[in-house]
Amino acid sequence: MRVLLADPPAFTPWYDHELAAALTRAGADVELATSRFRFGQLPAPEGYRRSERFYPLSSRLFKRSRLRLPLKAIEHLDVMRTLALAQPDVLHLQWLALPYADVRLRFRAPAVFTAHDLLPRRTASKRELWRRVLGRFDRIVVHTDRGREALAELGIDARVISHPVYPSAATRADDGHTLLSLGVIRPYKGLPDAIEVTRRLPDARLVVAGDPAMPLDGLREAERVEWRLGYLAQTELDRALSEATVAVFPYRAELDQSGALLQALGAGVPAVVYDVAGLGEPVRRFGAGRVVPAGDVGALTEAVRELLDDGAALSDARAGADRARRELTWDASAAQHLELYRELA
């Protein structure tokens, strides 16, 4: 089966890599069509072909500058043309960069879309727009049951394929009281809540590991917080995960699932998460930490305190993270994707 995976803006390059490699191991002929990733080095393709054909100028001339957007809008016309003309057995699109334009997409091939963020933040209020955009596809994939329920409210039927954990070379080398805030730093990820939890727990320290996509303002002045900023190399990411006792995810409800959470679980690190979107599903399913009411810093603090202070509770949560690591594999995900593809090809 010829599968064209497309992530034109390169929003999730590591997800794309792992899925493409797993599909290839399962026997598919896979091309990953994307753009140059602007922030770091990617793994070499494993059996699949990677072509950085999209946004050739804007992905090379700018990083986070908004100056790239007018040029990107012009280049997006070629993205639409390329996707419309593609004729693999299945076209699987990972991201829609410009939904106001993408509502006009037409495909020659059977088309699948993964709604990683369900209704992306900038256009989440445009429900009729997203109903029309998602209606262009033959199948929609989401990562959680909550994601499926959210799209059902739009009249969109979605297939749940759980987000796998990311493989990790991390080892357990924590001091028993280190918290981790992991991933690109954005407003919806609730870093101030993680810092407040650390302030309330005098024996805890917090490692913030990620690239800032927002002003940090006075956050840098917080005590017992270590900042490891930028896109970390895999060795540095593994070091942060090795040192973490518990990872914290005080997110607001602006996504379906968190790749950073799946990185933590993939390293065997328990997580404490706000009960938003689908974040709590793998944590509950595998007993890999704690799920607390959204926005409740007090509950977040007490859940973290329990895991740091109670050795048995921490051991159980670590065992749950290990179960997630064993079951949420990329090969299992690839098998489910191929089953879906065969319905269309």
Q: What's the chain's average pLDDT?
A: 92
Highest mean pLDDT among 21-30, 38-47, 113-122: 21-30
Give me 249's structure tokens. 């995810």
Residue 60's pLDDT is what?
72
pTM, entire model: 0.91
Residue 78's pLDDT is what?
87
CA atoms within 13 A on the CB side of 274: 22
Three-state SS at 69: helix
Residue whose tokens read 């602006």: 254
User: How do residues 191-245 score in pLDDT, each as one tens digit?
Assistant: 999 999 999 999 999 999 999 999 998 899 999 999 999 988 889 999 999 999 9
Residue 170's pLDDT is what?
93
Using left for φ > 0, alpha for ψ between -120 and 50, and beta otherwise, residue 133 falls in: alpha
Determine the distance from the C-alpha atom of residue 291 to the mean position of all C-alpha atoms in its chain, rounded to a whole number. Answer: 18
User: How do residues 291-303 score in pLDDT, each as one tens digit?
Assistant: 999 999 999 999 9
How far is CA 178 from each of CA 9, 84, 121, 205, rounded to the nearest angstrom?
34, 49, 31, 5
Q: Which domains does the chain have, with CATH numbers?
A: 2-164+329-342 (3.40.50.2000), 178-327 (3.40.50.2000)
The DSSP code sequence of 240-288 is HHHH-SEEEE---S--S--HHHHHHHHTT--EEEES-TTTHHHHHHHT-
User: How do residues 164-180 score in pLDDT, each as one tens digit?
Assistant: 999 899 999 999 999 99
Torsion sign over Cα 183, 189, 192, 195: negative
Give me 166's structure tokens. 């990311």
pLDDT at 124 over 70: no
Contact 270, 289 (CB under 8 A): yes
Cα–Cα distance for residue pair 322/272, rounded to 1 Å:
15
Residue 119's pLDDT is what?
63
Cα–Cα distance for residue pair 248/329, rounded to 1 Å:
22
User: How do residues 242-292 score in pLDDT, each as one tens digit?
Assistant: 999 999 999 987 678 999 999 999 999 999 999 998 999 999 999 999 999
Residue 245's closest CA among 170, 192, 296, 185? 170
Residue 189 burial by CB count (10 A; 0-12/13-18/19+): exposed, middle or buried?
buried
Contact 2, 88 (CB under 8 A): yes
Residues 58-89 as b/e (b if ≥16 CB within 10 A, e otherwise) read bbeebeeeeebeeebeebbeebbeebeebebb
